[in-house]
Amino acid sequence: MDQALAKVDYAFGLFQKLGVEYFCFHDRDLAPEGDTLRETNANLDKVIDRVEENMQSTGVKLLWNTSSLFTNPRFVSGASTSPFADVYAYAAGQLKHSLEIGKRLGAENYVFWGGREGYENLWNTQMKREQEHMATFFRICHDYAAEIGFDAQFLIEPKAKEPCMHQYDFDAATAINFLRTYDLMDVFKLNLEGNHANLAGHTYQHEIRVAREAGVLGSLDANQGDKLIGWDMDEFPTDMYETSTVMWEVLANGSVGPRGGLNFDA
């Protein structure tokens, strides 16, 4: 916990030196897990106290926060798409607390990235049923956010694979089809990432064009990947031509999104 608290102080010190106005975080990147969800939440709350103090003293704001429903082995078969009711319930409890933190810190957006929401093998997968469960999970989250007065823009971040062989939010078009199928277009927009576009066989410009023409461009991760490796590398953008096409799409759209921004995902 001492290291977790120190990391917050060092991070905000760096933000001030660089002139960073907004930051983002995954819940499990901030604080270590305990033996129970209650203990884990208590650990996180202690770190969030420190985050809130630093936000107030520096003026740095929260662009978005999200919940890591993919790193712990309990989520190996999914979180909202898990076949195990206890895992689904645990994910809901973790997400509930994450939404409460987002409200407390005044997050502009809330991101859902389902690294384990997909499959490894179709022989033991009921795709339609799993996606129905995921849609229900999203509705529950949105209803709870409304209940507690958390008015952040909800974002889905598409990715083709890794750690799953295939993720249900494969790319922008797939995510949009999911939102239309389950009547969630008015609830979600998309948080797009350049490296994720490449993993789906697309350019970053393609993904942004698809999203903006569907009216769901929400926010952008400013990174790039190595197009020859086939894995998510999260490199800082250095390709002038690619970044130019990305910003052309942003200008054509009028903005990144109603409440979105540009953040480094690395």
**Catalytic positions, written as ranges:** 26, 29
Do 97 and 41 touch, CB atoms closer than 8 A? yes
Q: Could you identify the residue written with the tokens 């977790």? A: 4
Question: Secondary structure of the chain: what % helix, strand, coil (to 5)?
Answer: 50, 15, 35
Six-digit token pair at 239?
A: 């390709």
Give, in order, the Cα–Cα distances in Å from 7 to each of 21, 33, 48, 76.
18, 16, 12, 28
Residue 182, Cβ density class (10 Å: 0-12 exposed, 13-18 middle, ≥19 buried):
middle
Rounded-to-integer distance, Cα 170 and Cα 176, Å: 10
Who contacts 169 (Cβ-Cβ below 8 Å, separation ≥6)? 113, 114, 117, 156, 157, 158, 159, 175, 178
| Residue 160: φ, ψ to 5° | -75, -40
Who contacts 182 (Cβ-Cβ below 8 Å, separation ≥6)? 131, 132, 135, 138
